[in-house]
Amino acid sequence: MTTDDTRSRQPASPGLAEAAAGEWEPWAGPRPSHGRINRLAVAAFVLGLLGGVLGAVVGVLALRRIRRTGERGRGLAVAGLVLCGVWALALVLVLTGVVSRPDPPVGVRGLRAGDCFRVDDTPTGTRTAPEEVTTVPCTAPHDAELVDRLPAYERHAGEAYPGTAALSARAETACRQQQRSYVLDPLSLPADVRLRWYVPSRVEWPTYPQITCYLAAGSTPLTRQLRQDATVVRPEQLAYLMATRELDDARAVLAAQGPTAAPDELRALVARTATANGRFWLALSAQAWPAQAKEPMEKLIAEAQEAAAYWRDAEQAADRDQTLRLVAQAEQRREPQTELAVRRALGLSTVQGEPAR
C-alpha cells in the first residue's frame, strides 16, 4: 500500500473519526447534561412557593445556567419567577387597599375603643348587645362607634343580677362620664348623634358583666371617627379644651338652675362659676399658644379678667335680684366672636358637628 492510498483512507476532516465512534457533537461549547435537573431551578421553584425577592433572583440565575449548560429545569425556574410575581402583586394589592373588604362579623366583645361598626339586624337603640357586628374603617359608612366597655356591677363581680332597668340607670351615668373623656369638645359631635349603651342580659351576667358604651348615628350614617380625646387632638387644642371645660360646666348649671334656685343654692352656684372663671384665665395665661392664636387668646383672657370683678360682686350681692343682675353683666363681658376666633385659630370646631382640623 502506497502513501497516497493511506492518505485517501484518512477522514476528510477532524472529528469524523469521533463521529463514527459516537463521541463527536456538531456544536461548540460544553456538552449538555440532558439527564440532570438544575439545582438552582429547583431552589427557585421552592422559594417562589414561599414568596420573597430571593426566589426571583435565583430563578434568573437558574435560567442563565440552563442556557449555558443545557441542563433540565427551565420550567421549574419559570414557575418560580411566576410565583414570585404573584406574591409581589398580592402584596401590592394589600398595601394599596384594593383588598379592603369589611372584617368578618364579630360580637361586641371583640370591639375596642374607637372601632367603628355596623349593626345589620339589631336597631341601635336595643339594650341587649347583638350577637354579630361588622367592623369597618371609620371613613366608610357605619352605624356606631365604640366609646368604651365598663363594669356593670356596682361593688363586685359576684353580685346578683340587678335587672335591666337598674343596669340601664348605671349605664347612663357611667357612659355619659366616659363620653366626656372620649369627646373633649362636644361641639364636634353631629347634632343627631346619640350616646347609647348595651347592658348584659341575665344569661350573660355570670360570664360577661360589662356595659358597652357607643355613639350611634342618627338618620345619616357616620363617615368619620368621632373620637376627640387626648390621643387625637393636638397639645394646644387639648390645653384649651381642658381649661374651658370647668367654666363651661359651671355656667351651664348656673343658667339651668340659677333662676329657680334658693338663695343659698344660688350663691353656691355663683361661687363655683366665679372660681372656675379665675382658673380659666389663669390656665390660658400660663400656656404658650401658636402665633395665629395669640391675639384672639389675649382678648379672651382680658374678657375673663374683666368678668371676674362682676363674679366677685355677685357672690356678695345682698339679694337675689342683684345677684342675677351681676351674673348677667359678667356674662356680657365675654364676646362669642372672641371664642370663635380662638377656636378657629386652634383648628377646633366652630359650628355643631364640624370636625377639628
Residue 81: what pLDDT?
Answer: 76
Are 214 and 147 within 8 A, CB to CB? yes
Residue 13: what pLDDT?
Answer: 47
Residue 61: what pLDDT?
Answer: 81
Residue 121: what pLDDT?
Answer: 55
Are 144 and 169 within 8 A, CB to CB? no
The residues spanned by each domain of the chain are 32-99, 108-216, 235-346
Residue 131: what pLDDT?
Answer: 74
Residue 126: what pLDDT?
Answer: 54
Residue 155: what pLDDT?
Answer: 74
Residue 204: which of 155, 154, 167, 179 has the closest Cα? 167
Residue 41: what pLDDT?
Answer: 73
Written as one string, the DSSP assignment of 88-154 is HHHHHHHHHTSS-PPPPPB-GGG--TT-EEE-SSS-TT-SSPPS-BEEE-TTS-BSEEEEEEEE--S
Are 217 and 143 within 8 A, CB to CB? yes
Ordered mean pLDDT values, 10 residues apiece, the chain (357 residues): 47 45 46 66 75 74 80 80 79 64 62 89 60 89 94 82 91 94 95 93 89 92 94 95 95 94 93 96 96 96 96 92 94 94 96 92
Q: How many residues does the chain have?
A: 357
The whole-angstrom separation of Cα 351 and Cα 187 is 7
**Residue where the block lists cell 371664642:** 339
Residue 144: which of 113, 181, 187 has the closest Cα? 113
Are 142 and 117 within 8 A, CB to CB? yes
| Mutual angle of helices 291-315 and 320-332, in 10-degree steps | 170
The whole-angstrom separation of Cα 36 and Cα 297 is 82
Residue 208: what pLDDT?
Answer: 86
Residue 35: what pLDDT?
Answer: 62
